[in-house]
Amino acid sequence: MESIHSLITARRSCRKFTDQPLSKEQVELLKKAALLAPTSKNNRPWHFIFVTDPDIIDALSTSKPHGASFLKHATMAVVIIADPEKSDVWIEDTSIAATYLQLSAEDIGLGSCWVQIRKRMSDDQTSASEKIKQLLNIPSCFEVASIIAMGIKAKERPAYTDADLMTDRIHDNKFQQ
């Protein structure tokens, strides 16, 4: 197990995966990680759909015109949804769960990448969320927040170094111009 600091330094978005399947243990660990994510008032407004069917993953990869096509080659896609009626901060709750999933994936040596769905259109008329809800039989009360692509990394990307950090974004005590 890695320290959280080495994990956040090493994690990079991975959009290329090998054909190797994930083990049952890896998938179980990721499911638990999602369910361990904290939520406001412990409301837990989210659900997670773990998609491994290649035809469904293929369909998800066309849910929006930009930034989702790489999903086609992912081994697993975790679709994160929530019921906005269950929590006024469902966006925060689903985002934290997405981060838990990505860091847990890194911890067990897997690659991952976030695919934004909320606020994205599928085409001129339909939102990406609506398209995915139809595809996955998701009840109308839910919104789709994001999809996390997962798989065994086909290529390692360099970890971040101190030179990558925007240190001017950190302020001590008061905002410094």
Ligand X SMILES: Cc1cc2nc3c(=O)[nH]c(=O)nc-3n(C[C@H](O)[C@H](O)[C@H](O)COP(=O)(O)O)c2cc1C
- Taking CB under 6 A as the criterion, the residue among 56, 72, 116, 154 binding ligand X is 116
- 73-92 residues in contact with ligand X (CB under 6 A) are none
Element housing 105 (H / E): helix 90-107
Neighbours of 73 (CB within 10 A): 18
- Taking CB under 6 A as the criterion, the residue among 74, 115, 132, 148 binding ligand X is 115
C-alpha atoms less than 13 angstroms from C-alpha of 65 in its C-beta half-sphere: 7
Q: Per CB under 6 A, which region of 26-34, 55-63, 112-120, 123-131 contacts ligand X? A: 112-120
Task: Single out the residue of 33, 71, 46 nearest to residue 144, CA to CA.
Answer: 46
30 is a contact residue toward ligand X (CB under 6 A): no
- Taking CB under 6 A as the criterion, the residue among 114, 131, 142, 143 binding ligand X is 114
Closer to ligand X by CB, 164 or 172: give it.
164
Count of residues touching ligand X (by CB under 6 A)? 8
**Residue 102 DSSP SS3:** helix
Cβ-based burial of 72 (10 A; exposed 0-12, middle 13-18, buried ≥19): middle
113 is a contact residue toward ligand X (CB under 6 A): yes
Q: Per CB under 6 A, which region of 9-17, 18-26, 38-46, 79-87 contacts ligand X? A: 9-17
Distance CA 2, CA 135 (A): 37
Question: What ranges make up the beta strands (E) of 55-109?
Answer: 76-82
Backbone angles phi, psi at 154, to 5 degrees: -85, -20
72 is a contact residue toward ligand X (CB under 6 A): no
Closer to ligand X by CB, 118 or 175: give it.
118
- Taking CB under 6 A as the criterion, the residue among 12, 16, 31, 86 binding ligand X is 12
**Interface residues with ligand X (CB under 6 A)?**
12-13, 15, 67, 113-116
